[in-house]
Amino acid sequence: MKRAVIFLIYACVLPTFVWAQNVQSIRIKGQVGDAKIDTKANRIVVMVPYEMNGKLYALRSAEVEKITTENNAAHTLPDVVDLRNWTKFKVGNEEWQIKGGYQLPGSDFGTWHGESITGFITLGHTQCDDMPGSDKHKIWDCGNPAYAASGSSNWPTKKIKLADGSYAAELTTRSILGIIASGNLFVGRIERNMSLMQLMGFTSKDGKDLIQWGVPFEGRPTAIRVKFKYEGLTDSCTIMAVVENRSEGVRKYVGTAWYSATTDHDKSKEGVISISEPDKNGLRTLETKFVYGKAHANGDALPKGAQIGKGTEAITHVTVVFASSRRGDYFKGQKNARLIVKNFEFVY
């Protein structure tokens, strides 16, 4: 009897052993690098290429090639998963979530290409080797093709070599023929082969009308991160990204990340998570979050016909803009204001 009591007490104080139910690894078709597996939050983030087989990667129907769990615990992750938002599944009795995303090609601003651009005052064409990104993808563009109408090749946007030997984008506000031209860099496509009269007609209107904004996009990032340096000379820069829903023919601003300030170290702006000290290239790292479902306190007025979304809509497009002068789209700004940007990325 005494031995039975001792055994019972011993059994009661033994810790209950539970088999681990973590995800060890996962492989999604086309996956870029290793998945980020957070075993404390039970969350997985997977990066994939922006394009696959010449088309936008379909985050809504990503194929799961392999998943490995500790102790071969059973899981409920389907063979095809929607990576646009957090998708729930179980590993054993524990709930997990998975989400995916991608980066825009050429976002390190280390790749540039050349174009022959019409220059009306010079009566012919001028060669511009300072066009951002790859001519193959046509993701990034700048205002240099419009600036070419002046006949000048002192481009507002150009590549610059940094102290470590890498390249970045240098955006400088210029003055040509008495007209302010902000250095800019954006996702979209500016009109080519404009007449001088057509271009000049926009100087009293809105230069944004010269641009087809954005590219297809399905990701739902939480923030943007970029290395930058700004010397505003009393001017303000623009660093912004907006994820949109255009499924109904209207630009709905689902979420917006925006930094605009006279310096590159103003941490008081809405959404700013952090701004680092300068690195060896003199660039700070800015991380600022997306504000979903409402207007951004630091943002400009919405473009004509656009509206603020609820924040829960599916995302169909993204637009990203950098400018050395915030009012540059209205041909206003401080001459020689200078913004350098490098290594732009979405944070998921």
pLDDT in tens, 246-271: 999 999 999 999 999 999 999 999 99
Nearest C-alpha neighbor of 347 from the set 224, 228, 219: 224
User: Distances in Å between the alpha carbon of 93 and those of 25, 78, 85, 98?
Assistant: 18, 16, 22, 16
| Model pLDDT, residue 165 | 97
Given the candidates 1.10.287, 3.40.50, 2.60.40, 1.20.1070, the CATH classification of the domain at 23-101 is 2.60.40
- Whether the pLDDT of residue 135 is over 90: the answer is no
Phi–psi pair at 30, nearest 5 degrees: 85, 0
DSSP H or E segment with residue 5: helix 2-13
Secondary structure of 89-136 as H, E, C letters? EEECCEEEEEEEECCCCCCCCCCEEEEEEEECCCCEEEEEEEEECCCC
Q: Which tops the pLDDT comparison, 116 or 20?
A: 116
**What's the rounded Cα separation, in Å, for the pair 275 and 278?**
9
Phi–psi pair at 66, nearest 5 degrees: -165, 140
**What's the rounded Cα separation, in Å, for the pair 188 and 133?**
12
Q: What is the CA radius of gyration of the chain?
A: 25
Spatial neighbors of 272 by CB under 8 A, at least 6 apart, are 259, 266, 286, 287, 288
Q: Where in the sequence of the chain do the CATH 2.60.120.890 domains occur?
A: 112-347
- In the sheet that holds 23-28, the strands lie side by side as 23-28, 62-69, 80-81
- Whether the pLDDT of residue 8 is over 90: the answer is no
Place 209 in a pLDDT band, splitting at 50, 70 and 90. Answer: confident
pLDDT digits (tens, 9 = 90+) for 306-345: 999 999 999 999 999 999 999 998 889 999 999 999 999 9
Residue-averaged pLDDT of the chain: 91
Place 14 in a pLDDT band, splitting at 50, 70 and 90. Answer: very low
- Whether the pLDDT of residue 210 is over 90: the answer is no
- In the chain, the N- to C-terminal Cα span, in Å, equals 62
Mean pLDDT of 12-30: 74
Predicted TM-score (pTM) of the model is 0.90
Question: Within 226-325, where are the H helices?
Answer: none
- Whether the pLDDT of residue 174 is over 80: the answer is yes
Q: Where in the sequence of the chain do the CATH 2.60.40 domains occur?
A: 23-101
- Whether the pLDDT of residue 17 is over 60: the answer is no
Kindly report the CATH number that applies to the domain delimited by 112-347. Answer: 2.60.120.890
Q: Which tops the pLDDT comparison, 20 or 47?
A: 47
| Model pLDDT, residue 136 | 85
Place 41 in a pLDDT band, splitting at 50, 70 and 90. Answer: very high
Place 89 in a pLDDT band, splitting at 50, 70 and 90. Answer: very high
The structure tokens listed for 86 are: 């957090």
